[in-house]
Structures are given as structure tokens and as C-alpha cells.
Structure 1
Amino acid sequence: MRVNYKFQRLFIQQPLSLNREIEIEGAQVSYLVHVLRMKEGAQILLFNGQDGEWLAKITAIKKSL
């Protein structure tokens, strides 16, 4: 098992696959933006307990209305 400390990890309940866009909402967005201070272009490891870990890139952060 390889451990990579370069990327933050985030658990999501959505299926993961290659080239899939995932929309993250609510408390997870707040955690990414305000706690981890991630910005557009940042990379993160996503996992869901079923499909392994996937390297993802934040492509957009939308402001609340």
C-alpha cells in the first residue's frame, strides 16, 4: 500500500470513475475552501470506500447566492 502525503483526501458517497465530473456541496465545500483553503486548479484525492482513490482537480468553486 502506497501512502501519499502530498494530497489531501476527501470521502464522498458518489461513484468514482475516469473523467467523471463530481459536484460537491454543503459542508464538504466549506471544508475544502475554508479549512483546507483549496482553490481552483488544486488537486485532491477522492475516495468512496468502493472504487479506490482517484486523483481529482477542482475546476470550479461557485459562490453561494
Structure 2
Amino acid sequence: MPPVLLSRALDPLLGVFTGLTAYYLYETHPRTAPPPGERLQELAKWKWSRWQQEREERLRANEP
């Protein structure tokens, strides 16, 4: 049986929580913060809008 820190169910939750907290601190700390326009939330919004535009173009091209 593999070693566990707290329990088999709680260890993955602790890992995800620690990772999310570390990334939040990385993006909000003034010394390590990425420049404006390159934060994860902004990049995800850009990617999502680009994907929606491409999807709409494909749907318009396939209309009879």
C-alpha cells in the first residue's frame, strides 16, 4: 500500500488546494505577477472567445 499523509481521499484534495493557493499567490504577488494581459483568467477569456468565433464561422460555412 502506498504511503499516505492524511488519508487516501484527503491527500488529493490537499494537493489541489495547495496548488491553487500557490498559483494565486504567484499571480497576485507584486514581485512575481505577470504583466497585464497575461494573467491566466485573461488568457482563458481570450482563448474562449477565439474558439467561439471559429465555431460560429464553421457553423455559418456548413449552413445550406
User: What interval of TM-score do these two structures reach, taking the shorter chain for normalisation?
Assistant: under 0.3
Structure showing greater radius of gyration is: 2
- Structure number with greater CO (CA < 8 Å, separation at least 6) is 1
TM-score, with structure 1 as normaliser:
0.22
More strand, by proportion: 1
